[in-house]
Structure 1
Amino acid sequence: MNEWYTLGVVGLVIVGVVFAIVRFRINPVIALAVGAAAIGLLTGLGPVDTVTTMTRGFGDVMMEAGLLIAWGVLIGAMLNEMGAITRLVDGLLRMFGKRGVPYALGLSFATYLQTIFVDVMIVIAAPLARRIAPRLGRNGTGIMGVVFAVSLETGIVLMVPGFAAVALAGLLGVPLGVMLIGGLVVVVPTVILTIMLMTIAFRLGFWNPEKDEKAIVEEPTKEDAADGSTDTAPSASSPRIDRTRTGTVRTALGGVPHGYTAVAERTEREQPLLLLFAPMLTALLLIAAQAVLTVLAIEVPAMQFIGNPVIALLFAVIATGMIGRRAVGTQRIEKSLVKGFQDGGQIFVLTGVGGSLAAVISEGDLGAILQGYFQATTFAPLLVVWVMAAVLHIAVGSVTLSAITAAGVIAPVATSLGLDPLLIALAAGAGALFCVHVTSNTFWLLQSFLGQSVRGALKTVTVGVSLASVIALAMTLVLAVFL
């Protein structure tokens, strides 16, 4: 089959998928599935083989990543229910002070807190961010906006246990421990450099509080009254969620949010913060330790079992559940698990369909065609992956979808080029961060919950995360020299 025909079919189908999602609001899962089927049929794969390949691709990816995503979702749901994130942010502020807390908070969000869904994290931590912002000076709201946007979005696609990072690892066959270490190498400098550069830009006049912030006021808390600070609040449609001195979760209006019963309030017992996070942190350490042993070619049977990501995170789920039952009661933990599965449903299907698309592409001759156009170097293909993911994200507004799609297109040629799949995953994730704008739900959440105007959100979210995208690409290219 003519190579230009094959390239044209794949290109047009991907453009068609993007157009269907953006213009006609077709669900990304359905659009990707139809696109995968179209590529198979139009490139001569045939009806039967197209369906078989799509099914196999879905199953292969879910076999690699399905349980891992499930465990991460459940851990995040339980930590959310126990109020662990709220307490963590308060603790970071006390420990690192106003100058250090943006970096401490950013690295926390981008690394070990990635089991929490972004939307949930923003809702939980935004009131605390509004308490911190005035203490950072005139540019405080802008700095906190960058911290939230950059760390949360970067962690999703580059850092295990972020669900997109896990999905990319499963799609490309990257061991989760290797993805964890590689992501850490890229994420840490990316978050630190981005926050530092954006803070400098704000201090040089890039941030204008009069135009970049919303003029909304919230009654100060008792803690704020003690230190003289004030808060900015979300709109009336976004009620503040905070904790009283007894640990009871309440809204800004004084009521108990949906899912928090009076019985649960009476039985709640506050546990040490380190204890709440201990299972997840232990699991991540076990995974990383086994990855190091694998690289060193050292076989320790016990570590091969408990350091396996599926087993390590399963133990973390069980241990977190046991701690949660003691902290907030069995009923609330069970409800949080049900809610976690509900929130994670589309992530499961999207990950699997991304695998279907990659399988259909790899089954044809696109791999051989692309191989002929790429030079035998790791840099050119990585730039192509980054650009493809960036363009998809600008059009669709989904970090996860654009990263998975870009990685799925390039994955078939990775082996033939001698390109490490880890680098493809990191380049796709970095590209998917470029230009988070008005098509993204996260953009509007950060705009409204952090007290920013649309102009302000364009600076903190769009410019800030785009800068992180470029820095992450640079870090990936540096890593490519050593792999």
Structure 2
Amino acid sequence: MIALHTVIAIVIVILLIIKVKVDPVISLMIGSLYLGLATGVGFTATIMAIATGFGGIMGEVGLLIGFGVLIGAMLHAMGAFRKMVTMLVNGVGARRLPYALTAAMATIFPSIYVDVQVVLASPVARSTGPFIGRTGLPHMCGALGTGIFAGYVFVIPGLAAVSIAGLLNIPLGTWLIYGFVLGPLTAIVTTLIFRLLLRGRYWKPAKDEEVDEAMVVQETTELAEADTATPPMFVCLLPILVPLVMIAFGAFAQLFNFSNDFIAFVGDANFALFVGLLGAYVLCRRTLGPEGTGTAMSEGFHTSGEILLITGIGGSLGAVIRETGLDTILADLFTADAQAPVILSILLAWFIAAVLHLAIGSVSVAAITAAGIIAPVLASISVSPIAVGLAIASGAMFALQVNSNFFWMFKSLLGLSTQGTFKTLTMVTSIASVVSLPMVMAVAFIA
């Protein structure tokens, strides 16, 4: 009955989000309450589990998410990301641009939220697509979509990556080492595969494109305008690069046994991102002044609020699941096949995240919910936590489609029909999810 009630709780969450259009925060809270009360955890114990689960995950990733969002908001306000995509256009040439763009989106841009990423980068795809050839627009769209979400789920400080790592208690330094390889590699390989797909009759411009030529002209003009107020590109990237180097240094120091208290302090993700936040704040003050900096930070606070709540309630769901005793049942499920426990566990984690994403339509909510479900059994399975976390990340990308608000943003900003959006965004996120799965399995055998 515990497993049945857990399924019902998840279905309630999905139906509330999809059918009733209830906010994910409220939906996850209702699902957590139902699960605790229906399985006999009790009124007081259920509320206690929700509160302690929320507090636990906030202690793990609350500051990281808040600092990361604020850094991205200030760099965005300074025009740093606009300047970067302009440099990509001018530096690598049109035909190599899909690979340069997808690599940049998967490594540097995860510091800002996915909705902002597509708004910033869509002018590049729209404006340069015609110079690549007949399938230039879909190739650029595919590169943009796969880069955004490969970075979002695999690369620190992508919010989905940070949330999964926090829920599964995976050190961010460990995640950084693996994710920084898997993210861009998945994006580039997917973009190559998608290019091969476009060589046939797959793309039909008359049915798949709805390009507004006036918007293309306007966006091309905007990209051509130099933003003299923005600091040099390398300086703009320091608030992102310095924390990553600090975290990576701490992780390698621990891996090779030369760490000490000071190195652990410097390599701590909370301190590293705070250093990045200070750097972004100083740059923003010098570029935009106190008022512009205050506006950028206010937008960052606004963006981080719901993200923090969703992440925290994901921790609450995991805590309630632990109270029900479902961990024993799920542990038996994960270890059911004694001949292939690693492969089975990775596939099951991937499958849970993929199904949740197909149902809910949100990569982050699917990843957080899947991590909340799996976290209680993590200690009972013979697979490293990093491999399980990466499997959740991989599955959470699968087949982004019409029940996601990002799908419709992508459609309108890139000048695609609904069919064209399926052929680009839905296709590349599906390919990326499948392409990354063997890489995750490789990690499972070496981690």
Q: TM-score, normalised by structure 2?
A: 0.95
* SS in structure 1 at match of 2:222: strand
Q: Cα distance, 1:215 vs. partner? A: 4.0
Q: Would you say 1:83 and 2:113 are equivalent positions?
A: no
Q: Would you say 1:201 and 2:194 are equivalent positions?
A: no
TM-align CA RMSD: 1.7
Question: Which amino acid in the other structure matches residue 373 of structure 2?
Answer: V
Bigger drift between 55-64 and 445-454 goes to 445-454
How does 1:135-150 map onto structure 2 within 5 Å?
135-150=131-146
Note if contact 2:211-2:414 (Cα within 8 Å) is conserved in structure 1. no
Runs of 4+ in 1 over 3 A off after TM superposition: 231-234, 243-246
Alpha-carbon separation, structure 1, partners of 2:142 and 2:226: 32
Alpha-carbon separation, structure 2, partners of 1:276 and 1:246: 15
Question: Which amino acid in the other structure matches residue 33 of structure 1?
Answer: M
* SS in structure 1 at match of 2:95: helix
Q: Would you say 1:179 and 2:175 are equivalent positions?
A: yes
Alpha-carbon separation, structure 2, partners of 1:354 and 1:451: 35
* SS in structure 1 at match of 2:287: helix
Alpha-carbon separation, structure 2, partners of 1:414 and 1:279: 34
* SS in structure 2 at match of 1:114: helix
Alpha-carbon separation, structure 1, partners of 2:226 and 2:247: 36
Which structure has the greater CA radius of gyration? Answer: 1
Q: Would you say 1:317 and 2:277 are equivalent positions?
A: yes
In the other structure, the counterpart of 1:74 is 70
Alpha-carbon separation, structure 2, partners of 1:244 and 1:328: 21
Deviations 1:359-383 (A, max 9, x none): 1111222111122233352211221
Q: Would you say 1:295 and 2:259 are equivalent positions?
A: no
Q: 1:77 to 1:140 in 2, by over 3 A?
A: same
Alpha-carbon separation, structure 1, partners of 2:26 and 2:211: 41
Q: Would you say 1:408 and 2:372 are equivalent positions?
A: yes
* SS in structure 2 at match of 1:316: helix
Q: Would you say 1:445 and 2:403 are equivalent positions?
A: no
Deviations 1:48-97 (A, max 9, x none): 11111111110000000000000100010011101111111111222222
Alpha-carbon separation, structure 2, partners of 1:438 and 1:333: 36
Note if contact 1:32-1:357 (Cα within 8 Å) is conserved in structure 2. yes
Deviations 1:181-206 (A, max 9, x none): 12123212211110000011112221
Q: Cα distance, 1:103 vs. partner? A: 1.3
Bigger drift between 5-14 and 374-383 goes to 374-383
In the other structure, the counterpart of 2:342 is 378
Note if contact 2:18-2:360 (Cα within 8 Å) is conserved in structure 1. yes
Alpha-carbon separation, structure 2, partners of 1:464 and 1:43: 40
Q: 1:121 to 1:11 in 2, by over 3 A?
A: same
Q: Cα distance, 1:216 vs. partner? A: 2.1
* SS in structure 2 at match of 1:378: helix
Alpha-carbon separation, structure 2, partners of 1:347 and 1:423: 24
Deviations 1:255-282 (A, max 9, x none): xxxxxxxxxxxxx733211101112101
Question: Which of 374, 387, 395 in structure 1 is aligned with 2:359?
Answer: 395
In the other structure, the counterpart of 1:227 is none
Q: Would you say 1:242 and 2:222 are equivalent positions?
A: yes
How does 1:45-444 map onto structure 2 within 5 Å?
45-218=41-214, 231=216, 242=222, 245=225, 247=227, 269-375=229-335, 376=338, 377-444=341-408
* SS in structure 1 at match of 2:214: coil
Q: Cα distance, 1:174 vs. partner? A: 0.5
Bigger drift between 205-214 and 23-32 goes to 205-214
In the other structure, the counterpart of 1:261 is none
Q: 1:87 to 1:48 in 2, by over 3 A?
A: same
Alpha-carbon separation, structure 1, partners of 2:221 and 2:358: 32
Q: Cα distance, 1:472 vs. partner? A: 1.5
Alpha-carbon separation, structure 1, partners of 2:99 and 2:211: 26
More helix by share: 2
Question: Which of 7, 23, 37 in structure 1 is aligned with 2:3?
Answer: 7
Q: Cα distance, 1:233 vs. partner? A: 6.8
How does 1:32-47 map onto structure 2 within 5 Å?
32-47=28-43
Question: Which amino acid in the other structure matches residue 94 of structure 1?
Answer: N
Deviations 1:355-406 (A, max 9, x none): 0000111122211112223335221122111111111111110101111111
Alpha-carbon separation, structure 1, partners of 2:218 and 2:433: 29
Question: Which amino acid in the other structure matches residue 248 of structure 2?
Answer: A
Note if contact 1:127-1:241 (Cα within 8 Å) is conserved in structure 2. no
Alpha-carbon separation, structure 2, partners of 1:432 and 1:295: 29
Question: Which amino acid in the other structure matches residue 81 of structure 2?
Answer: I
Alpha-carbon separation, structure 2, partners of 1:21 and 1:385: 22
Note if contact 1:388-1:431 (Cα within 8 Å) is conserved in structure 2. yes
Question: Which amino acid in the other structure matches residue 353 of structure 2?
Answer: A
State how many pairs are aligned.
443
Question: Which amino acid in the other structure matches residue 280 of structure 2?
Answer: T
Alpha-carbon separation, structure 2, partners of 1:277 and 1:439: 34
Alpha-carbon separation, structure 1, partners of 2:402 and 2:48: 38
Q: 1:15 to 1:245 in 2, by over 3 A?
A: closer
* SS in structure 1 at match of 2:213: coil
Listed as ranges, the gaps of 5+ residues in structure 2 are none
